[in-house]
Amino acid sequence: MTVTVTPTGVDHVAINVEDVPAAITFYTEVLGLTQNHERPDFGFPGAWLDAGGQQVHLIELPPAPNVGQHFALLYADLDAVVAALRAQGLEVSDPNPSGPGRHQAFTTDPWGNSIELHNHV
């Protein structure tokens, strides 16, 4: 019997950061995620952040070298987000088309994790 494996979506991504409290501040105050306080005590520092219907999980460990891996956050107005982040001193690439009706820009968090800023137009 063959089983078809079909996901219904992405539930969360997990990234390593060296300082969970500082990462919570960055991701909530700069990128607009909200902290989800339902995270159980797993015996290691971390946090759950809500991003629309999905989550970003922070784990306090040294980040892996950035060799292209990233996750994408979806925003309604990419140009406004890029301008707001640049006004806060973040380096953000110029938005570029990434497919029909899609645009993307990139930034990094303070620990070197690459973040795609994405929108559907």
Mean pLDDT of the chain: 95
With respect to residue 3, please indicate whether it lies within any of the assigned structural domains: no
Number of domains making up the chain: 1
| Domain span including residue 23 | 12-120
Q: Please report which confidence band the pLDDT of residue 81 belongs to, taking 50, 70 and 90 as the band edges.
A: very high
Q: Is the pLDDT of residue 3 over 90?
A: no
pLDDT digits (tens, 9 = 90+) for 91-110: 999 999 999 999 999 999 99
CATH number at residue 67: 3.10.180.10
Question: What secondary structure does DSSP assign to the chain, as a single string?
Answer: -PPP-------EEEEEES-HHHHHHIIIIIT--EEETT----SS-EEEEEETTEEEEEEESPPPP-SS-EEEEE-S-HHHHHHHHHHTT---PPPEEEETTEEEEEEE-TT--EEEEEEE-
Average pLDDT over residues 52-65: 95
If you average pLDDT over residues 17-28, what whole number do you get? 98
Q: What is the pLDDT of residues 109-120, one digit of tens each?
A: 999 999 999 999
